[in-house]
Amino acid sequence: MKLMKFGSSGIRGIANQEITSELAVQIGRAVGAVCNRVVVGCDTRRAAEMIEYAVVSGLLSVGCRVTRVNMVTTPTLAYAARNHDCGIMVTASHNPPEYIGVKLFNPDGMAFDREQQTTIEELIKDRNPELASWKDMQEVRTDKNAVSDHISMILSKVSIKRKMKVVVDSGCGAASLTTPYLLREMGCDVITLNSQPDGFFPGRGVEPKEENLFALQALVSSTNADIGIAHDGDADRMVAVDERGEMVSNDKLLAFFGEYEAEKKMVVPVDASMLIDAVLPNVEIIRTRVGDVFVAEEIKKTGADFGGEASGTWIFPKVSYCPDGVYAASRLVELLSSTTEKFADKLSSMPEYVIKRGSVLHRGNMDKIEEELLALNFSGIDTIDGFRLTFDDVWVLVRPSGTEPLIRITVEGKTKQLVDELYNKIYKIIKG
Ligand code: MG
């Protein structure tokens, strides 16, 4: 068995090829070596139960106390972790249907950090767990209230000011049994799409991006709904469609949430749009490494009020350090219900920037590229994740991919000409 490494989103791969029940038993034993009480949940994937039962078996074999919450969203599991030493979510998030994975959470909803994941990896590698005596093996508990507890927590924090008509596209993922019910409890008129849990994901691609959401867009406009909501497979992500049926840019949604949530500080990744700075001139914008786990860690470290990523992850530390797409959906509906301004009008009032993203095949080292980048006449530099250089009215991020032999380029600026010029200049530097 090849040793799988935990990444910033836990461990993920193709079921029965990279992620096997043998590996899942090892993960269960490793987690059980450092945690005594563990809550386990899974998403709607075909391989989820196979992996879940194996994880539970591993946990029990080292004498761990296990509570199962069955099929839930990732934020539901992260919320359930508050009563345990750790939460284990069996999910492959927004990956295609053949994938499965495991993600580990602390009681405060924060995903395991690098150090904690390394500990688990080393315990798996050692393959020398201290197995429990038969007398110390525990019974598995089942908690059927995890979803309603999560919903009740959210209901205690949000309320709508007027009736809202909402279309929810759960993508046949774990949100199917959560978000539509929550919004109905809030008093919304809810129309569902792809809200039957199904591991074949027959309705649409699992990732909530525009090419997968044309049915949601059409349904929002044909039903004259106020808003459309879509999740990924485990609902830590949420994206929106405005009342015209147009996709809301996630950069704009990040700024929109920021206006209400961020009093002093807000955390975004280094590739976030300059729109955030323009819309929130009085908020300290902290940029960190790309990845929602890094955003969450930085929020905790700096005591920021809010943070998120343009992938559709929104982190409200007053609720959890886990990105909660279910809470984000209800909060968005609440905010829209409390204003008479049309969402589309609000969005079009925000500044528009041109953004261009691409990548260059590159296997060599970064030294020569770094040298040439540093010789450019920039006004600001951030090296927390690759090189982010700021010029007048345009910036670029040059970042080696963590998983492929690629260097990724993001350029954003006030005009297409500025963006194209800088993009081409950087492209030539990388090509050499
Ligand atoms: Mg996800």
pLDDT digits (tens, 9 = 90+) for 52-70: 999 999 999 999 999 999 9
pLDDT at 403 over 90: no
Phi (first) and psi of residue 164, to 5 degrees = -125, 140
Q: Which amino acid is at 410?
A: T
Q: Say which residue the tokens 């949940």 belong to.
A: 41
What is the CATH number assigned to the segment(s) 354-431? 3.30.310.50
Cα 287 to middle of ligand 1, angstroms: 21
pLDDT, position 61: 97
Cα 204 to middle of ligand 1, angstroms: 15
Answer whether 21's CB lies under 8 Å from 307's CB: no
Give yes or no: 222 in active site. no
pLDDT, position 38: 98
pLDDT > 90 in the chain, percent? 92
Q: What is the pLDDT of residues 87-96, one digit of tens each?
A: 999 999 999 9
pLDDT at 2 over 60: no
Domain boundaries, the chain: 11-143, 148-348, 354-431
Q: What is the pLDDT of residues 225-249, one digit of tens each?
A: 999 999 999 999 999 999 999 999 9
pLDDT at 1 over 70: no
Cα 106 to middle of ligand 1, angstroms: 17
pLDDT, position 3: 60
Task: Return the CATH class of domain 148-348.
Answer: alpha beta
Distance CA 324, CA 83 (A): 18
Confidence of residue 6 (pLDDT cuts 50, 70, 90): confident
Instruction: Give the torsion sign (CA, 311, 217, 347, 174).
Output: negative
Q: Which residues pair with 237 in a beta bridge?
A: 313
Q: Do domains 11-143 and 354-431 have the same CATH topology?
A: no
Q: Which of 8, 57, 61, 93 is catalytic?
A: 93
Q: In 3D, which of 273, 173, 276 has the Cα closest to residue 229?
A: 173
Q: Residue 130 burial (CB < 10 Å; 0-12/13-18/19+)?
A: exposed
Cα 233 to middle of ligand 1, angstroms: 6
What is the CATH number assigned to the segment(s) 11-143? 3.40.120.10
The tokens of 347 are what?
Answer: 């969005």
Q: What is the pLDDT of residues 303-342, one digit of tens each?
A: 999 999 999 999 999 999 999 999 999 999 999 999 999 9
Cα 9 to middle of ligand 1, angstroms: 9
pLDDT at 364 over 80: no
pLDDT, position 164: 98
pLDDT, position 202: 97
